[in-house]
Amino acid sequence: MPQLNPNPWFLIMLASWLIFSLVIQPKLLSFISTNPPTNKTSTVTKTTPWAWPWT
């Protein structure tokens, strides 16, 4: 079963993860978000119990 041979594919996967973590990810994380989250006050909603017809 040649697909279980990790010889060429493991190095390709390892190289792609290293490139992603060392090169691409810091560039993506350096961007400033265009819509930063704001602190909102939480509102409490009043819930009413469900009136089950069979009780």
Q: Tens of pLDDT along 2-53? A: 667 777 788 899 999 999 888 888 888 888 777 777 787 778 888 888 888 8
> What letter represents residue 4's amino acid?
L
**What are the Cα distances from residue 43, in Å, to 12, 15, 29, 35, 37?**
50, 48, 32, 22, 17
pTM (2 d.p.): 0.44
